[in-house]
Amino acid sequence: MGMLKLDEGKVSHARALAKTIADDVQGYINRHTTATIERTTLRLLGVRGLAPNEEPLPNAIVDRLHDKLGFGVALPFLSTAVRTGLGPNELALAIAEGAVDLDHDAAIDPARVYEAANRFLKPQLDRIARMRQRRDEKLAAEPAREQPLIYVIVATGNIHEDVGQARAAARAGADAIAVIRATAQSLLDFVPYGLTTEGFGGTYATQENFALMRQALDEVGDELGRYIRLVNYASGLCMPEIAAMGALERLDMLLNDSMYGILFRDINMYRTFCDQHFSRMINAYAGMLINTGEDNYLTTADAVEAAHTVLASDLINERFALNSGLAPELMGLGHAYEISPELPNSFLYELAMALLVREVFPDHPLKYMPPTKHITGDIFRAYVVNTLFNLAGQWTGQGIQLLGMLTEAIHTPYLQDRHLAIQNAKLVFEAARDIGQEVGIKNDGFIAARARQVLDKTTAFLEKVSEIGLMEAIAKGWFADIKRPKDGGKGFDGVAPRREGYYNPVLAVFKKSLNAVIE
């Protein structure tokens, strides 16, 4: 039992409710596929590059399925490969050019199709295995850490400038660096190709950009004698494709939430739930940690009144992740310091929430997000609030601390803003290194009472959600005060029921290697 002395029966009941809620949606997931899942399957079969009209080859092939999406792309693609003798990329280009038609109904020997599937998958799966082994070796050689990972963002739009800023951040003390995505990339139903030098509000997530940044962080990590983790965003309409690209280029963390795209990007919920399951299986297979997005709830809802929705979402995200085969140590469940600093005892409210999440998820590397909602143009006030945030993170044993910037409300951080944020975190983490072991929590005090109140409200909320179902709860606006209709949003036309005879060789690999819910 932790410092809060939580009722373990209530925690177990809340987890059981979250399982009921997620498993209800899982039934739908297991009966459907999406355009993105099929494009990802092609990528893992070895398809990569652009058609002559500059359309990504995976899109060019899947678009030709039309109303046959529910059968999957693998069987016609592999049957055509057997008939023509072409390799995956050569075949994809021939199909895109119109020189070869997909075999939808050809009677090809199944054994030859399965052999082609294994042959095409092997180079990608071997590469992912090598990348996972290399990460494990580098982390094993790294000195043990006793504080939250220092996590910062670079976001210039130009990958070459991002590399320079990321190197500087690593030398200043950052442990994890995210290349924030170009604004609205989550709404693109394709993945851009190649190195990019333009992007509004961030840099496009492309496999080539991933590879360049991975190389740069490995070089500076070897120079510093520690591993620098690379982070990106597997969300939106291309969630599984970005996860596959991340696995192939050894990203270490991907922002990957089961509901973020629905609530904050108006992506259809059916599409999102299916895509998050497939993408998280890729994360599990590659050993990449997910970060979830509960911090965003508190930008649209009040941090005191809506605290229980954050914990409820964490529990639901945990269950969806378990259904995908992810272990707790790969779940960076999210929450945030978004409480108003003007509220009396605001720091105690925040300690209560941070401790509650920590104790409900003892084996998870929690992702703690910085203040943004109540940060103003007063940089001195922002620096004080970020210091409190860093103290709360160290005190409550958070796993991944995305640092707040003193210029959050003014502009994209300059190098010196990021440097000051890292210096702040390092100073606070060291100065309060053992505070969690030295300072106790009164069982009848404010912090413990607040934590118990949030846990009770979480359980009551989950009971309500379980009665009507998660999709209906989202439609009613119960999460983040945002309503999304079940059949609305972007990407619904890219969802299809799996038809009799549906075949996906990637799912066959996951079924063998992961403890995932697939059927």
Which residues are part of the catalytic machinery? Answer: 260, 295, 367
- 8 CB burial (10 A radius; 0-12, 13-18, 19+): exposed
Concatenated DSSP letters for 420-442? HHHHHHHHHHHHTTTHHHH----
CB 476 within 8 A of CB 254: no
Grouping H, G, I as helix, E, B as strand and the rest as coil, residue 267 is strand
Spatial contact of 339 and 299, defined as CB atoms under 8 Å apart: no
Orientation angle between helical segments 239-248 and 207-224, nearest 10 degrees: 40
Cα first-last separation, the chain: 36
Answer for the pair 163, 220: CB distance below 8 angstroms, yes or no: no
Closest CA to 177 of 403, 413, 428: 403
DSSP 102: -
Q: Pairing relation of β-strands 32-34 and 149-154?
A: unpaired
Q: Which structure tokens are listed for 109? A: 């020997």
Quote the CA–CA distance of 103 and 91 in Å, as a whole number: 12
Q: Which amino acid is at 411?
A: H
CA torsion, points 230, 233, 239, 241, in degrees to nearest 10? Answer: -40
DSSP lists the bridge partners of residue 150 as 401
CA distance to 167, 412, 450, 464, per residue, from 459 (Å): 44, 39, 14, 9
CA distance 286 to 465: 32
